Structure 1
Amino acid sequence: MATAAQWLEGARPRTLPMAIAPVIIGSAAAYSMDAFKPLNAVLAAMVAVLLQIGVNYANDYSDGVRGTDENRVGPLRLTGSGAAQARSVKYAAFASFLLAMAAGVYLLYLSQAWFLILVGIGCIAAAWGYTGGKNPYGYMGLGDIFVFVFFGLVATLGTTYTQAGAVNAPAIVGAISTGTFAMALLMANNVRDIPTDREHGKLTLAVRLGEDMARVSYVMMLALALLLPVFLVYDYPWVLLVLVLIPLTLMPSWLMLKGKKRKSLIPVLKQTGILNLLFSVLFAAGLVLTGILS
């Protein structure tokens, strides 16, 4: 039976900044429209975090029963390692999805944006379909599109809309940036797993690109995510605060380009998640400062 510490590790807390960052950005965009609603922001964060945990457990379960995680390098896999029964991990994923749905329904009640319930259902279906089911799209190299759409565009713009009833340019640019960070985090994870994924027919984008190009694409994603806010500088000059993060991109970029041992890539996940979170805080601060000082 898995311990509480193992269940926590199985939830992959290093990926959780990817869920929180779009809520910070989306809430700041709502603030820039004088429409920030703290309770709605908290509920959006609960939905995002619970969905991320659900995805992580679902991925653990599905890859574990397929044998993909048998010799994987990296954080503990509950199913693949035998620390927990596959059925228990699956139930943990479903429980996370149900809790996310409950928080989401309350958020839609407060915002009266009931049409977004279809988006919520789509999020849960996509979360399970990443590695679950008969034809998981994560095995086809489409997982990167999923994280960009759902943990970038949907999470950010949904957060803004459920507070302001509209979206604006900062919400859109911020959504693209944080979605690109999420893609970079997934790329770092998948580059590390290329040998075992290829062996089990999991054709992630990293496998399809090949190791060298996949590593380069990670650096390109970081650069794009950080530079996109430049397009907002005319109306929101303080968003250039995000550029102070450029030195912090050097270490994960170097590890991705030069780290030959699989274990040397493990810290990149944490570093990328922290970069995404710091970006969201500085981006939000830029919007707030622009409002205060303009």
Structure 2
Amino acid sequence: MQAKLQTSQQGMTPTRNDSKWKVWWQLMRPHTLTAAFVPVLIGTALAMTHTTINIPLFGTMLLACLLIQAATNMFNEYYDFKRGLDNEQSVGIGGAIVRDGVHPNTVLMSAFGFYGLALLLGVYICMNSSWWLALIGLICMTVGYLYTGGPLPIAYTPFGEVVAGLFMGVIIILISFFIQVGNITTQSILVSIPIGILVGAILLSNNIRDFDGDKEFGRKTLAILLGKKGAILLLASMFITAYLWAMGLVFTNLASPWILLVFISIPKAAKAVKGFIGKTMPMQMMPAMKATAQTNTIYGFLLSVGLFISYFM
């Protein structure tokens, strides 16, 4: 039975503490947080072949990325609500505002609070690596805000997948590698590419699911420009490219054959593509979107395992 809601000065919030925690946990959209965790793990695994890992730096980087990802999700919740895109029937949202009665300003201020904590962690990272990372970090946070905030949100354009893949995939891996090693290598750049592709795939799957609603509200996402069938074909192509890229890394001796463990995740990728074919309702496509996110998680985890094993072999 759902907890009764009561009015407070900050908005409508559930009376039961467990319900409150559940609301805020869902607001952070935990299924997306692996998009922050996986790149940090991969960048650190790559660094092991060059230096001894600084565990406090690794932990700080991981926490900062999780905070930025969670804050970005909160900005998304706030601005989609403000623009009238979210309602009680919306699928795939945290729902803290439209279903659980949390005041919109509370969500917005919480997002900025998470950014503030990430900034403090960033100071520690810069003190132990390079202050140039402060500029890069600020750019990443700005992009996270502008993804759904500002006069022309990135999420409403055809560039959402590219921006997400670059900043939440490639750049996080390279920063995680840099703070341990002190430089960037060709290998670290090339290994980061398939993760960037898969992070972009998560956003593409989200836009396929929201195709009809986004079109109605005038969004110009990549999925809308390509059409639903074209977007599904692109999603399949992105998965194929990620696996072929891993093979290329092995054949060019830029990575150990152990990274081909990522092929274990192929059934999940196939499930994601098949899950979109012939579906028209957003709720019907939720399993496919979930499978897409899981593909990124499993692929990234197995890539990290392969890198760790190659270090000890």
Which TM-score bucket, shorter chain as reference? over 0.9
* Matched residue, 2:181: 164
Q: Distance in 1 between matches of 2:106 and 2:220?
A: 27
Q: Pick which of 81-90 and 159-168 moved more.
A: 81-90
Q: SS of 1:59's equivalent?
A: helix
Task: Flag the 1:238–1:91 CA change in 2: closer, same or farther, 3 A.
Answer: same
Aligned length: 292
* 2:93 corresponds to: 75
Within the candidate set 273, 280, 295, 1:260 is matched to: 280
Larger-Rg structure: 2
Q: Name the structure 1 match of 2:271.
A: 251
Work out which of the residue numbers 52, 62, 69 in structure 2 matches 1:52: 69
Greater fraction helix: 1
Identity %: 30
Distance in 1 (alpha carbons) for counterparts of 2:275 and 2:258: 30
Distance across 1 between alignment mates of 2:91 and 2:289: 13
SS in 1 for 2:128: helix
* Long gaps (5+) in structure 2: 1-11, 14-19
Residue 47 of structure 2 is aligned to residue 30 of structure 1: yes
Contact 2:28 2:94 in 1 (8 A): no
Find the residue that maps to 1:271 and give its secondary structure.
Answer: helix
How far does the alpha carbon of each residue in 1:207-240 deviate from its partner, in whole angstroms, 9 at most, with x for none? 2221111112111112222221212212422111
Q: Is the 8 A contact 2:77 2:93 kept in 1?
A: no
Matches within 5 A, 1:80-119: 80-81=98-99, 83-111=101-129, 113-119=130-136
Instruction: Indicate the residue corresponding to 1:15 in structure 2.
Output: 32
Distance 2:158 2:66 in 1: 24
2:293 is matched with which residue: 266, 270, 273?
Answer: 273
Instruction: Give the aligned partner of residue 210 of structure 1.
Output: 227
> Aligned Cα RMSD in Å?
1.7
Alignment map for 1:192-203 (pairs within 5 Å) = 192-203=209-220
- The normalised TM-score by structure 1 is 0.93
Which SS does the other structure have where 2:90 is aligned? coil
* Structure 1 portions without partners, runs of 5+: none
What's the TM-score, normalizing by structure 2? 0.88
Which residue number in structure 2 is paired with residue 287 of structure 1? Answer: 307
Task: Report the Cα offset of residue 276 of structure 1.
Answer: 1.6
**What is the alpha-carbon distance in structure 2 between the residues aligned to residue 48 and residue 194 of structure 1?**
28
Counterpart contact for 1:104–1:120, Cα < 8 Å: yes
Distance in 2 separating the partners of 1:292 and 1:127: 37
* Structure with greater contact order relative to length (CA < 8 Å, sep ≥ 6): 1
Residue equivalent to 1:176: 193
Q: Distance in 1 between matches of 2:211 and 2:280?
A: 12
